[in-house]
Amino acid sequence: MKKDYNYRMACDEEINEARKFIFQRYVEVGYINNNLKQLQIYTDKYIQDSIYFIACDKKNKIVGTVRVVSKNIPVLEEFELDGKFLKKIKKIGLDKVFEVGNLTAIPGKNIAKGLYKIVFQYACRKKYQYCLAAIDQNFFNKLKSKYFFINFQKIGLPKCYIGSISVPISLKFNFFFKGLNYLLL
């Protein structure tokens, strides 16, 4: 069986193409305001601290992307978070925490699974203990009901973030990876 997509960390030349892809998908789903359409590239204050992973088709066209941020983590800066969680993160150290975000992919092609797989392999190599994310509240509710066995926790108050009401969450890897290694890696 042939692989339909090539998953990898984006090289310098591919980062802007990944950001353009994010922008395009965000416009398509309504996350980006019409006033910003002239930019044609996704940007925020965390770009310089981001590592991008991409999925490419057989013609090497980007069909999905996700980013990892391990310095100046957006969830820690943008959301009102639970005090107990913040103490826990401070205790283990920020070098053991990263955020995964800006997941975008062509719909209906199961590309997200491959992107998550490459990100989690990267996280294993880096020995991260916590993954943070801000996810759409409706998606969060679907995940809680469908994947109740994955130990992700709501860690703060929802707010409007990147075009939707989003919930800050965390995944503790020492439990999560045992099952994930079997499923994905």
pLDDT digits (tens, 9 = 90+) for 100-122: 999 999 987 889 889 989 998 99
Q: Is residue 44 part of a domain?
A: yes
Residue 108 pLDDT: 77
Q: What is the mean pLDDT of residues 87-97?
A: 92
The CATH number of the domain holding residue 120 is 3.40.630.30
User: What is the C-alpha to C-alpha distance for residues 40 and 92, in angstroms, rounded to an integer?
Assistant: 39
User: What is the C-alpha to C-alpha distance for residues 95 and 37, in angstroms, rounded to an integer?
Assistant: 35
Residue 109 pLDDT: 81
Number of domains in the chain: 1
- Cβ atoms 14, 146 nearer than 8 A: no
Residue 179 pLDDT: 47
Residue 2 has pLDDT above 60, yes or no: no
SS3 assignment, position 146: helix
Q: What is the mean pLDDT of residues 61-89?
A: 94
pTM of the shown model: 0.86
Tell which wins on pLDDT, 175 or 57: 57
User: What is the C-alpha to C-alpha distance for residues 150 and 6, in angstroms, rounded to an integer?
Assistant: 27
User: What is the C-alpha to C-alpha distance for residues 120 and 175, in angstroms, rounded to an integer?
Assistant: 13
Residue 6 has pLDDT above 50, yes or no: yes
Q: Is residue 1 part of a domain?
A: no
User: What is the C-alpha to C-alpha distance for residues 34 and 38, in angstroms, rounded to an integer?
Assistant: 9
33: left (phi over 0), alpha (psi -120 to 50) or beta: beta
pLDDT band per the 50, 70, 90 thresholds, residue 180: low
Residue 34 pLDDT: 59
Q: Where are the beta strands (DSSP E) in the chain?
A: 6-9, 50-56, 62-69, 97-105, 130-136, 152-154, 159-161, 164-172
- Token digits of residue 65: 């992307």
- Token digits of residue 114: 């491959």
Which strand (E) or helix (H) includes residue 141? helix 137-146
Q: Is residue 166 part of a domain?
A: yes
Range of the domain at 119: 6-183
Residue 161 has pLDDT above 70, yes or no: yes
User: Cβ of 77: how many Cβ atoms within 10 Å?
Assistant: 11
